[in-house]
Chain A
Amino acid sequence: MAKGIRIMKCERVREAIMLEATGEVTGAQRRAVAEHLAGCASCRAFDAVEVPMPFTSVRSNPPLSGTDYAGIRAAVMSTIAKERRIFPFAWRFAFGAAAAVLVVIIALVTWPRPHGDQQASRAPKPQPAIPTVAQAPSAAVAPKVPESAASEKDEGTELIHQGLPQQRAHRTHERPVMIAQARLDAATEVRMEFQTADPEIRIIWLSNTQAVSAR
Chain B
Amino acid sequence: MTAEAILTHELDTPAPKRTQSDSAVLAATIRAAQSGDDAAFEDLMRLSERRVALLAWRILGDGEETKDAVQDVFLRVYRHLGRFDARHEFAGWLFRITVNVCRDLRKKRRKRAIFTPIDAADDVADAVQVDDDLATRRDVVLLTRAIDALPEKERLAVILRDIEELSTEQVASILGNSAATVRVQISKARVKLRQWIAEWRKGSGS
Contacts and interface: CB of A to CB of B under 8 A. Distances in A.
Q: Chain A interface: which size bin?
A: 35 or more
Interface string B50-84: 10011011100101001100110011001000000
Interface stretch (A44-52, A89-97, A110-118): A44-52
Contacts of B134: 52, 57
Given A59-B58, A62-B56, A79 B75 contact: yes
Contact of B38 (A64, A68, A69, A80): A80
Contact of B57 (A15, A52, A59): A59
Interface string A34-60: 000000000001100111111111111
A143 B61 CA distance: 84
B173 to A, nearest CB: 17
Interface residues of B, number: 53
B168 A24 contact: yes
B41, B190, B201: which has the most chain A beta carbons within 10 Å? B190
A56 B201 contact: no
Contacts of B34: none
A213 B143 CA distance: 77
A148 interface: no
B89 interface: no
B183 interface: yes
Interface stretch (A70-78, A151-159, A170-178, A202-210): A70-78
A149 interface: no
A17 to B, nearest CB: 8
Nearest to B68: A72
B140 interface: yes
Contacts of A121: none
B170 to A, nearest CB: 13
A136 B158 CA distance: 75
Interface of A: 11, 14-19, 21-22, 24, 45-46, 49-64, 68-69, 71-73, 75-77, 79-80
Given A50-B135, A61-B54, A63-B63, 18 more contacts: A11-B191, A15-B188, A17-B191, A24-B168, A49-B197, A52-B143, A54-B165, A55-B158, A59-B58, A62-B50, A62-B53, A62-B54, A63-B66, A63-B127, A64-B57, A64-B63, A73-B49, A76-B71
